[in-house]
Every structure is written in structure tokens, then in C-alpha cells.
Amino acid sequence: MPSPYRAIFGRPGTKSFSAAGLLGRMPLSMMGIGIVTMVSQLTGRYGLAGALSATLALSAAVIGPQISRLVDRHGQRRVLRPATLVSIAAVAGLLLSAQQRWADWILFVFAACVGCVPSVGSMIRARWAELYRGSPRMLHAAYSWESIVDEMCFIIGPILSIGLSTAWFPEAGPLLAAGFLAAGVFWLTAQRRTEPIPHPREQHAKGSALRSRGLQVLVVTFVATGAIFGAIDVVTVAFAEEVGHKAAASLVLAVYALGSCAAGAVFGLLHLKGHASRRWVVGVCAMAVSMVPLQLVGTLPLLAVALFIAGLSIAPTMVTTMALIEEHVPRAKLTEGMTWTSTGLAVGVALGSSAAGWVVDAAGAARGYLVPGAAGVLAALVAFAGYRWLRPQPGSPVAGPAAAGGLPTQGAPATERQGEERVA
């Protein structure tokens, strides 16, 4: 392991909570695509499959920030365990209703309840931020490592979810995802020593972290970015089925994640200059451009190559986003702030998967790749329009350090106070 990554695991407990986070985040890559595969296997209706996946994502988008706000106030253990139990019970109901061919509305009710799943990635990043606050280089490596872990989930998860659902029984993918969620969350919350200290209720009197204009820009952009991810998942499964190799969709999606994983590993080794906001805009634009080759591919091997290239811009953009969140969100609301970006992604995944499902049903899989293409253009436009809210303000405490190292320092709360005054 390269030295920056080895160094971040020098603190006691870091290996354990990162490993628990890997397990707890597996449903992120398995549940949505598992539902799409399960429902398409049982009914042949990609529109219904995409709509159910969208319902889950939208539910998580609504509930997730509220769970994280409670975590900031009361701690991870007290909040995550009951939320996870609710989500697992809803998964069981969804699988049963799908297998028994119950009415569609029942499927949607259970899919909405599954959205009670907590944002495990935000919980892990909050632990890193607590450990290495004031050490920008270490925090950069930690966030890069977590992006690698995210992509490991997206390499392994779709293979397991799609592979098991097609080769074993349709409900196998979502069922395994629920097992990973339970194991990861309960293991994570058993580790009390690295859990961030909850903040008293009075520190939250000013309202949501979303008051920050900078965070608003990140979240809106991530809605469009999430639409890219959601659409690619659905369309790739349909494309693979059209060419007669539906199970191969998991391998193609794994290649997409592999590109992001490789880029994230390299990105964590770099000593970067210039403010993070510039790199973030470049990353979003690169994501948009990378959607162009998808409109031209006609075979699975070419699709895999195009998706690998498209994946190269994902992890660096996500790492840079975490740096910007720390700069624009107060410490007492950090978990909530991180979850809001996940919420933006979830909303986008919902919109993208739903739109892609209907386009595939109406015009075929090849035309379905127009959906992530349009989402990429929208993401780039929003990023350009909101760039001024992400730049360091003259005289800001973060202007110097962030410009020098591309990462925030402990001056972030002051910057956020300025942002709240502008919003007010």
C-alpha cells in the first residue's frame, strides 16, 4: 500500500471502521441494480423496475439527511441501529411481495421504506474528519481511500447482485445486500472509540447545513451526476440483454467502477495546488464529455472500454467534493452536509433510472444512453453557474491554505458563517 494510505491507518481502530464501512456500503451498489434485475426477471417490465429503484432512491434522499442530522445530535450508535432494522424489514417485505406477484402499489410502499437505510459512507468520512481535522494531507488521503472503497463496492456489488439474481433466484441480490447492511452497520456502531462526539441540540439552532450556498451548488450538481449513474445502470442491463448476455452487465458495470477506483488511487498520492473548486468544475465537465462515446458503442467490449474511460473522472471529483463540503459546512453539521450530497446523488439516480427505464421500453437500449448524456450536460452547466459560490472569498480563512494545498483547514466554520449571512 502506498505510504499516504499506510499512514492514515496508523491510528487505532481505523482499519476496523473502514472495513465495516465497506460492508455497510455494499447495498449502495447492490440494492438498486438488484431490484432492477429482480423485477425485470420476474415481470419483464423495465419501466416498473426503474420506477421501483427510483422510489427507493427518492426515499433515501428524503430520509437520509434527517437520519444524519439525528446522528450529529445523538451519535451514530443510537440512530443507525434502529434505522437499519426498519430498512431490513422493508427489504424482506419487498422481496416477498415481488415473489408473490402482489399489486404494484405494495411494491412501491416497501421500496419507499427501504429508503430508511443510513448513509454509511458519510458516517465513515465523519470519523476520518474527526481523527485528522487540521491535517489536510492526511484527510486528502483518507477521503481518497474511501473513494477507492466506494468503487470497490461498485466493482464487487453489481457482479454479486446481478450474478446471483440471474444464476440463482431473482431475489438473491437484494437479499444479500440486506445482509451486508446489517453486518456493516452493527459492526461499525460497536466501535465506540472512533465515533464522533455528538453535538448538543443548541448548536443546531440555525437550521440545516443546506443553508450554505456552496453546499446547495454541490447538491444540485450531484442530482444531475446521480442521473448519470442511475441511467447507466439501467441501460447497461438492458443493453446486455438485447445482445444476449444479460449476466455480463455486472462485469461491464464493474469495469466502470474500476476506472474510478484506479483514478482515485492515483489522486490520493498527488500533492495538489490551487483551490479545490477549480478541480471540481474540471471533474464535472470531464464526466459530461465522457458520456459522448456511449452514444456510439454497439458491442459489450466497446461499451466496457467507454465506461472505463468515463469512470476515470468520478473518484477525483468525489474526493474534491468532500474537501469543499468541509470548507462550506460547520463542524457540528458535517455528517448532515456529507449526506446532502449523497441525497443529491440519490435523487439523480431516481430520476436517471426512471427516465432510462422508460426510454429503453419505448426506443431500445442504445437510445437509453441519451439520458446520461443529457444529465452530463446539465451537471456541467450547473457547475459553471455555481462556481462563484465555491471559490474562496477574499480574506477568507480558507483562501490561503485551500489555494496552497487544495484542502480545507479548521477555518471552515468561519467561512460557513459568512455563507449563512449571505443566505440570510
pLDDT: which is higher, 305 or 162: 305
Q: Please say if the pLDDT value at position 163 is more than 90.
A: no
Q: Please say if the pLDDT value at position 418 is more than 90.
A: no
Using alpha carbons, select from 22, 36, 23 the residue that is nearest to residue 250: 36
pLDDT tens digits for range 136-149: 788 888 888 988 88
Dihedral (CA of 382, 28, 303, 147) sign = positive
Q: What is the CA radius of gyration of the chain?
A: 20
Q: What's the pLDDT band for 207 if we cut at 50, 70, 90?
A: low
Cβ–Cβ under 8 Å, residues 143 and 256:
no
pLDDT: which is higher, 115 or 422: 115
Contacts of 99 (CB under 8 A, 6+ apart): 42, 170, 171
pTM: 0.74
pLDDT tens digits for range 33-80: 888 888 888 887 777 887 888 788 788 878 888 888 888 888 888 899
pLDDT tens digits for range 342-389: 788 878 877 888 788 888 888 888 888 999 999 999 999 999 998 888
3-state secondary structure the chain: CCHHHHHHCCCCCHHHHHHHHHHHHHHHHHHHHHHHHHHHHHHCCHHHHHHHHHHHHHHHHHHHHHHHHHHHHHCHHHHHHHHHHHHHHHHHHHHHHHHCCCCHHHHHHHHHHHCCCCCHHHHHHHHHHHHHCCCHHHHHHHHHHHHHHHHHHHHHHHHHHHHHHHHCCCCHHHHHHHHHHHHHHHHHHCCCCCCCCCCCHHHHCCCCHHHCHHHHHHHHHHHHHHHHHHHHHHHHHHHHHHCCCHHHHHHHHHHHHHHHHHHHHHHCCCCCCCCHHHHHHHHHHHHHHCCCHHHCCCCHHHHHHHHHHHHCCHHHHHHHHHHHHHHHCCHHHHHHHHHHHHHHHHHHHHHHHHHHHHHHHHHCHHHHCHHHHHHHHHHHHHHHHHHHHHCCCCCCCCHHHHHHHCCCCCCHHHHHHHHHHHHC
Please tell me the predicted confidence (pLDDT) of residue 190.
Answer: 94
Please tell me the predicted confidence (pLDDT) of residue 329.
Answer: 80
| Burial class of residue 326 (count of CB atoms within 10 Å of its CB; 0-12, 13-18, 19+) | buried
Q: What's the pLDDT band for 324 if we cut at 50, 70, 90?
A: confident
How high is the mean pLDDT of the chain? 82
3-state secondary structure 45-107: CHHHHHHHHHHHHHHHHHHHHHHHHHHHHHCHHHHHHHHHHHHHHHHHHHHHHHHCCCCHHHH
Q: Which triple of cell numbers denotes residue 108? A: 412501491
Q: Please say if the pLDDT value at position 307 is more than 80.
A: yes
Q: Mean of the pLDDT values across residues 295-306?
A: 89
**Which CATH number is correct for 16-194+208-423, 2.40.50.140, 2.40.30.30, 1.20.1250.20, 3.40.1010.10?**
1.20.1250.20
pLDDT: which is higher, 332 or 192: 192
Q: What's the pLDDT band for 206 if we cut at 50, 70, 90?
A: low
Q: How far is CA 416 from the centre of its chain?
A: 23
Q: How far is CA 67 from each of CA 218, 310, 326, 335, 386, rounded to the nearest angstrom?
A: 20, 32, 19, 10, 27
Domain residue limits, the chain? 16-194+208-423
Contacts of 381 (CB under 8 A, 6+ apart): none
User: How many Cα atoms are found within 13 Å in the side-chain-facing hemisphere of 339?
Assistant: 27
Please tell me the predicted confidence (pLDDT) of residue 200.
Answer: 62
Q: Mean of the pLDDT values across residues 419-423?
A: 32
* ∠ CA 270-272-274, rounded to 5°: 165
CA–CA distance, 118 with 84 (Å, rounded to integer): 7
pLDDT tens digits for range 231-271: 998 899 888 888 888 778 878 888 888 898 888 888 888 77
pLDDT: which is higher, 166 or 317: 317
Please tell me the predicted confidence (pLDDT) of residue 393.
Answer: 52
For the chain, give the percent of residues with pLDDT over 70: 89
